[in-house]
Amino acid sequence: MREWISPEALALLRADPWFGSVPKDFEQALLDLATPRRLQHGEHLFFRGDAADGLYAILEGTLRVSGVTEAGKEAILSLVDAPSWFGEIAVFDRLPRTHNAVAEGTVKLLHVPQHDLLAMLERQPHYWRELGVLMALRLRLTFIGMEDLALLPAESRLARRLVWLVEASALTPTEGPCVVPISQTQLGLMLSLSRQTTNQVLQSLQDQGVLRVAYGRIEVLDRARLMERAGVSATEKRILGQLQPGGPKGRAAEPT
């Protein structure tokens, strides 16, 4: 393991449900290949169309993953925070990056280079399964988000997205209030909602005591009521359990 990966950084990485469940020899192999990266606020990790360059893990900060039209209109797909791993899709298909990834504030990362990763997987092909589990979990969240956008009214969509941002984060406390580091504007862009509609829905949830809106963040005060307002199903709760520290280890979520 690289000497610059401190015990604190390793403990943070293991708080990620996926990385915390992989075999120790695969964990060791990834960390042996990893190199550090640092981004300043507004700096791009990669652009849409860039060549695949490997797997990443966030140690500190948040990345905004989005698509931007030629006219400059942005659609935010997700905010990726520590200690998430990402970039596995391009490891499988070796095609160019599909979206932009830009730093929200200072970001520290680990980078496992594509060439070295593929060489290791060539020697140890059974490790492909571990990357497949990571991609499968991400795909489940994508399908849920697509269905929400197509079928649900604004309040339900917003409540459900907040649930996923809260409960799928390894940094969220086991229980009690928590802070989601996202602005109203960013949340609206993720859900294709106008600023006015986003503000109205958040104000309604704030009046109900579910959350409190502050500058650049949303403080979720009552997670149980937020989940109730979001209408999270039993199957979705099992998926959330898979994504949380202490959830099922070493396997994909139960089939839907």
Tell me the pLDDT tens digit for each residue of 17-62.
889 899 999 999 999 999 999 999 999 999 999 999 999 999 999 8
* Per-residue pLDDT tens digits for 196-246: 999 999 999 999 999 999 988 899 999 889 988 998 888 888 777 766 654
Q: What phi, psi does 36 have (nearest 5°)?
A: -80, 150
Q: Which pLDDT score is estimated for 249?
A: 40
The token pair that represents 162 in the structure block? 């907040």
- Residue that wins the pLDDT comparison between 244 and 186: 186
For the chain, list the domains and their CATH numbers. 7-143 (2.60.120.10), 152-243 (1.10.10.10)
Q: What is residue 109's predicted lDDT score, i.e. its pLDDT?
A: 95
Interatomic CA distance for residues 210 and 221, integer angstroms: 5
Q: Does residue 91 carry a pLDDT above 90?
A: yes
Tokens at 249, concatenated? 């280890």
The reported pLDDT for the residue numbered 140 is 83
In this structure, what token pair is assigned to residue 19? 């990385």
pLDDT recorded at residue 236: 81
Q: H/E/C letters for each residue in the chain? A: CCCCCCHHHHHHHHCCCCHHHCCHHHHHHHHHHCEEEEECCCCEEECCCCCCCEEEEEEEEEEEEEEECCCCCEEEEEEEECCCEECHHHHHHCCCCCCEEEEEEEEEEEEEEHHHHHHHHHHCHHHHHHHHHHHHHHHHHHHHHHHHHHHCCHHHHHHHHHHHHHHCCCCCCCCCCEEECCCHHHHHHHHCCCHHHHHHHHHHHHHCCCEEEECCEEEECCHHHHHHHHCCCHHHHHHHHHHCCCCCCCCCCCCC
Instruction: State pLDDT tens for residues 138-173.
Output: 888 888 888 888 888 999 999 999 998 887 676 666
- In this structure, the dihedral spanned by the alpha carbons of residues 11, 103, 77 and 224, taken in order and rounded to 10 degrees, is 50
Question: Average pLDDT, whole number, for the chain?
Answer: 87
Residues 256, 239: Cα–Cα separation, whole Å = 9
pLDDT score for 190:
86
This prediction's pTM: 0.79
Does the N-terminal peptide bond of residue 83 adopt cis geometry, omega within 30 degrees of 0?
A: yes
More confident residue, 53 or 251: 53
